[in-house]
Amino acid sequence: MTPLKVIRLLACTAMASATLGMATPTLAAAAMTPEQTVAAALKEAPIWDGHNDVPEQLRDRRKDMLAGFDFHNTVNEPLPDKRMAAFFPAGTPTGMQTDLARMKAGHMGAQFWSVYVSASLPEPEAVEATLQQIDVIKRVVAQYPDEMMLATSSADVEKAWKAGKVASLIGMEGGHSIGGSLAVLRQMYALGARYMTLTHFKTNLIGDSATDAPKWGGLSPLGKDVVREMQRLGMLVDLSHVAQKTMLDALDVAQAPVIFSHSGAQAVSGHPRNVSDEVLDRLKANGGVVMCNFYPSYVSDAQYKWGAARAGVEAEQKALHPDRPDLAKAALDAWITAHPKPVATIGEVADHIDHIVKRIGIDHVGLGGDFDGGSIGLQGMPDVSAYPALLLELAKRGYSKMDLEKVSSLNTLRVLKAAEAYAAAHKGDKPIENPTTF
């Protein structure tokens, strides 16, 4: 054998050994059970949820008064008015869905707390109410320094994780919260808000809502400047709740990744609150993320269509019996008995994630539960303790440890870092101005 052949043989042997060595972790990973895969993923990347309405619960249940409030256990937190129990499905607990004990069980490491206020408020009142909601969540975080940490950057999130605390970020739900003022937007950012949903249930000065009549045909001229200014600041643009044309306009303007803080895939459930394939394709190019929602009527297409059918029957009966509301109600009740409301399931949430992954890839999906804001009655996801159950469903479908890490938090971390990088690159840009209106 020539020296050259010996060298080639040794090289091939070394390459084969290296390949075998590289294959060993893969074989070990393949041997992991779904439960072990989930546990390993959560150890590296705890859950980062995009939307939770604890501040709204504190406003509705306690008028933002924290005396006597125990965030370690909110299972029996009372309703302020027994009539509110009607909003909970039969047999569903009427306490809160979020507390520190259940967050720990859910392996939560970061939470965007929604400082939602009603879109029906006049905008100056909405600004005041938003300030109150920012204040109340900051007071909650301050009361639990061993378990929670206020976070205003990706670095803060990583610091909180290392300390074993829940990184607590602030998200504003609805552009009515700035009263049409870019100056107010900048001050909300200074107070710690790190995303803003451009609309809520109603069309506003920024753009058209998914659940209201259009006014602007997408983003308004002010709305385009809002998107630009948010990204100049490093504030995430949230496109949940906005109309499809508003989504597309925002993606036209955006120079950094955007988020959907709590939405699903319209191909799985046709609700307008969800994201169409056309928008998903644009989102991939943008680099953003859809944080999948657990709100039953957005998750389940059958439940969404049932709700539309119920509304039709109700309207018909009221038109048939304008003078006899008792007859109209009896007819509606009979229809409901004959057509029980479909139940949304944890498997359907996984279907939304599956669709997004198949359409635009694993790098563009996260979690945005909307707990304590309407995600009540989803089978298999009763509260914030249940995130591992969703990851287990995904693991059983073949998602790898790295896939689960991206879904749980790493995709959201990447998007926030990209927004921060864009802002750093534009720190010399002048603030965008708009005139005061009163």
Residues classed as catalytic: 51, 53, 173, 200, 241, 262, 370
How many CB atoms neighbour CB 436 within 10 A?
7
The burial of 151, by beta-carbon neighbours within 10 Å (0-12 exposed, 13-18 middle, 19 or more buried), is given as buried
CB under 8 A, 24+ apart: contacts of 80-88? 84/60, 87/376, 88/376, 88/377
Q: Which two tokens stand for residue 238?
A: 């949230």
| Rounded Cα gap, residues 24 and 19, in angstroms | 9
Q: Which two tokens stand for residue 258?
A: 């955007």
Strands (E), 216-299: 236-238, 259-263, 289-292
| Rounded Cα gap, residues 435 and 414, in angstroms | 35
Phi, psi of 303 (to 5 degrees): -70, -40
In three-state secondary structure terms, 232 is helix
Helical ranges in 144-276 per DSSP H: 154-162, 182-190, 221-233, 244-253
